[in-house]
Amino acid sequence: MTDFLLKNAQTVLTMDDDRRVLHAVDIRVRAGVIAEIGPTLGGAETKVDVSGAVVTPGLVNTHHHLYQNLTRAVPGGQDALLFGWLQTLYPIWARMGPEHLQVSTQLGLAELALSGCSLTSDHLYLFPNGGRLEDTIHAAAEVGLRFHPTRGAMSIGESDGGLPPDSLVEREADILADMIRLVDAYHDPSDGAMCRVGLAPCSPFSVSRELMRDTALLARDKGVMLHTHLAENDEDIAYSEAQFGCRPGQYAEDLGWTGDDVWHAHCVKLDVKEIDLFAKTRTGVAHCPCSNCRLGSGIAPVRQMRDAGVKVGLGVDGSASNDMASLWDEARQALLLQRVANGADAMSAYEALEIATRGGADVLGRPDCGRIAVGKRADIAVWDVSGLASSGSWDPAALVLAGPRQVRDLFVEGRQVVASGRLTTVDTAAVIRRHGALAQALANGD
């Protein structure tokens, strides 16, 4: 169903260029694109009744590690800071293979879809036992979400002073060759693309300076985006100053890792100069508030970033450091943390939703998404505000304060991926069974 008419929306939070909030309107979709918005539209298309519902753009997730769905709540990592958490989990991840990547991607994307997410990135930086990025790409095509996978990498193992075990690192020449292969095979630069590929060395402490620089050069040659972790916690800052003699922002700038085609995950510890640098260069940030809380990393200066003009989107991060993947939880947590740090008027419910939709689309270089406007892609979320979660709310549009956490209907490129709260594209019960068996085998050491 790519041609249809959404009828009788109670409220539409458009996130368009004028940030309009519309009431009692219909939305016409043709060939996966929003064709018309207005009251009492007629036509022969299939009609979807959204009476009494709030309609928003599909939510956008700018940072994830989908493979980590198989290692939620691992006891040794439950109470650890970032570096200790990684050292606990690396040996477990080293036992994974292609099926683990494929099934964890299916489950993670199903979870995201039910939270209203229509576009997600993924940062896959380890490829044990024959695993490849296309294991996740094919799984995403089955679920039906718009996908921005990134070919990550680690090249400095324990024997060279790095954190990951040597079994999880790759030769840098092999990394660059595979990046070229994947971009040539799967990257679609066109408007409305369902799959775009990015390049994403894991972090400044798991790859060399040379790989960071070479990856930036390759990305510009291929016209794709760059992604990595940056300035996540105090350990991260201390490592950068000790190893590189500068703060993470300076390191990124020196190696070509700033610009409109770059987005960095976390950025909890950016200082004023780094925020100004990101604003001037149009460098994006994936803000992951729940993971930052879980790992005790701190509160990212999102208010200061937004005020300076930095592009900010939301990320659920991996489920080994978040335990779940709900962009609604991230939007609410972002709002609450900024209020804790800066006062009750620091962020509104509407701004939190803007970051979760338009903000994330802009970070990923997708101005064709994240808005409900004529000519934009038909990535649309429908929220039932007649239930318990919204009961008594004086402002149904303030969804992150009082509203449902699961979407009623989700359309991606005009295709209905969620209908009446159920995924339409894959058998979620079968995915859960297989996922559970694989997780149990990992826990047993298999």
**Does residue 2 have a pLDDT over 90?**
no
**What is the distance between the alpha carbons of residues 266 and 315, in angstroms, rounded to a whole number?**
9
Q: What is the pLDDT of residue 360?
A: 98
Q: What is the pLDDT of residue 205?
A: 83
**What is the distance between the alpha carbons of residues 55 and 11, in angstroms, rounded to a whole number?**
6
For the segment 90-126, what is each residue's pLDDT rounded down to a tens digit? 999 999 999 999 999 999 999 999 999 999 999 999 9
Range with lowest mean pLDDT among 44-48, 72-76, 161-165, 296-300: 161-165
The confidence band for 256, taking pLDDT boundaries of 50, 70 and 90, is very high
Range with lowest mean pLDDT among 162-171, 250-259, 364-373: 162-171
Cβ contact 98:130 at 8 Å: yes
**Does residue 85 have a pLDDT over 90?**
no
Q: What is the pLDDT of residue 170?
A: 97
Q: What is the gyration radius of the CA atoms in the chain, in angstroms?
A: 21
Q: Which residue has the tokens 């099934």?
A: 103
Amino acid, single-letter form, for residue 56: T
53: left (phi over 0), alpha (psi -120 to 50) or beta: beta
Q: What is the pLDDT of residue 45?
A: 86
Q: What is the pLDDT of residue 446?
A: 76
**Does residue 145 have a pLDDT over 70?**
yes
Beta bridge partners of 244: none
**Does residue 63 have a pLDDT over 80?**
yes
Mean pLDDT of 223-244: 94
**What is the distance between the alpha carbons of residues 221 and 23, in angstroms, rounded to a whole number?**
45
Average pLDDT over the chain, rounded to whole?
96
Query: Quick one: which H or E segment has residue 29?
Result: strand 21-30
Return the structure tokens found at 66: 């989908």
Query: Quick one: which H or E segment has residue 387?
Result: none
What are the angstrom distances between the C-alpha of 137 and each of 105, 109, 145, 148, 300? 9, 11, 10, 9, 31
> What is the 8-class DSSP label of residue 32?
T
**Does residue 47 have a pLDDT over 90?**
yes
3-class secondary-structure state, position 303: helix
229: left (phi over 0), alpha (psi -120 to 50) or beta: beta
- Stated pTM of the model: 0.97
Count Cα neighbours of 98 within 13 Å in the Cβ-side half-sphere.
Answer: 6
Return the structure tokens found at 261: 């085609």
Q: What is the pLDDT of residue 83?
A: 82
Which residues lie below 8 Å from residue 388, measured CB to CB, with a gap of 6+?
Answer: none
**What is the distance between the alpha carbons of residues 68 and 70, in angstroms, rounded to a whole number?**
5
**What is the distance between the alpha carbons of residues 14 and 372, in angstroms, rounded to a whole number?**
5
Mean pLDDT of 238-250: 94
Cβ contact 371:58 at 8 Å: no
Cβ contact 370:343 at 8 Å: no
Mean pLDDT of 422-437: 96
3-class secondary-structure state, position 43: coil
| φ, ψ dihedrals at 143, nearest 5° | -70, -35
Return the structure tokens found at 298: 């701190």
Q: Are strands 198-201 and 284-287 parallel, antiparallel or unpaired?
A: unpaired
Count Cα neighbours of 77 within 13 Å in the Cβ-side half-sphere.
Answer: 25
For the segment 97-107, what is each residue's pLDDT rounded down to a tens digit? 999 999 999 99
Q: What is the pLDDT of residue 1?
A: 59
Q: What is the pLDDT of residue 179?
A: 98
**What is the distance between the alpha carbons of residues 175 and 307, in angstroms, rounded to a whole number?**
37
Mean pLDDT of 297-311: 98
Mean pLDDT of 292-320: 96
Burial class of residue 132 in the structure, from the number of CB atoms within 10 Å of its CB (0-12 exposed, 13-18 middle, 19+ buried): middle
For the segment 29-41, what is each residue's pLDDT rounded down to a tens digit? 999 999 999 999 9
For the segment 162-179, what is each residue's pLDDT rounded down to a tens digit? 888 999 999 999 999 999
| φ, ψ dihedrals at 238, nearest 5° | -60, -40
